[in-house]
């Protein structure tokens, strides 16, 4: 099962030259989440994202269940790539670059 197949909730897509399966779990008010999004877009990396704080009810429960699988602390931002083999917590440019290179 691919990373996106296990996500039974709506993701927003941002297209880029570099195609990836990256999924960003973020908060709409988080500065580090914004930095991560800006970096991905500046580097033209495609990704999907969800603002967890803008969800509610059953949808939020589904999102948090998937997030917990990759990041038990459920901190933000959490970037999941390469079918879950790479999980980057916080805004870490070098880790993102390395994960993209492994894709």
d(CA 63, CA 51): 10
- Which DSSP state fits 44? T
Q: What pLDDT score was predicted for residue 23?
A: 96
d(CA 94, CA 26): 19
Q: What pLDDT score was predicted for residue 2?
A: 67
43: its two tokens: 């580097």
Spell out, as residue ranges, where the chain has pLDDT lower than 50.
none
Q: What pLDDT score was predicted for residue 7?
A: 78
56: its two tokens: 């509610």
């Amino acid at each position: 099962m691919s990373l996106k197949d296990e996500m039974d909730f709506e993701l927003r897509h941002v297209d880029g030259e570099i195609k990836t399966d990256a999924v960003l779990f973020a908060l709409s008010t988080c500065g580090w989440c914004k930095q991560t999004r800006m970096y991905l877009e500046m580097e033209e990396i495609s990704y999907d994202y969800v603002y967890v704080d803008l969800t509610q009810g059953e949808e939020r429960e589904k999102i948090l269940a998937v997030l917990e699988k990759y990041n038990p602390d459920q901190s933000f931002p959490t970037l999941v790539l390469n079918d879950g083999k790479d999980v980057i917590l916080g805004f870490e440019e070098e880790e993102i670059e390395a994960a993209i290179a492994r894709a």
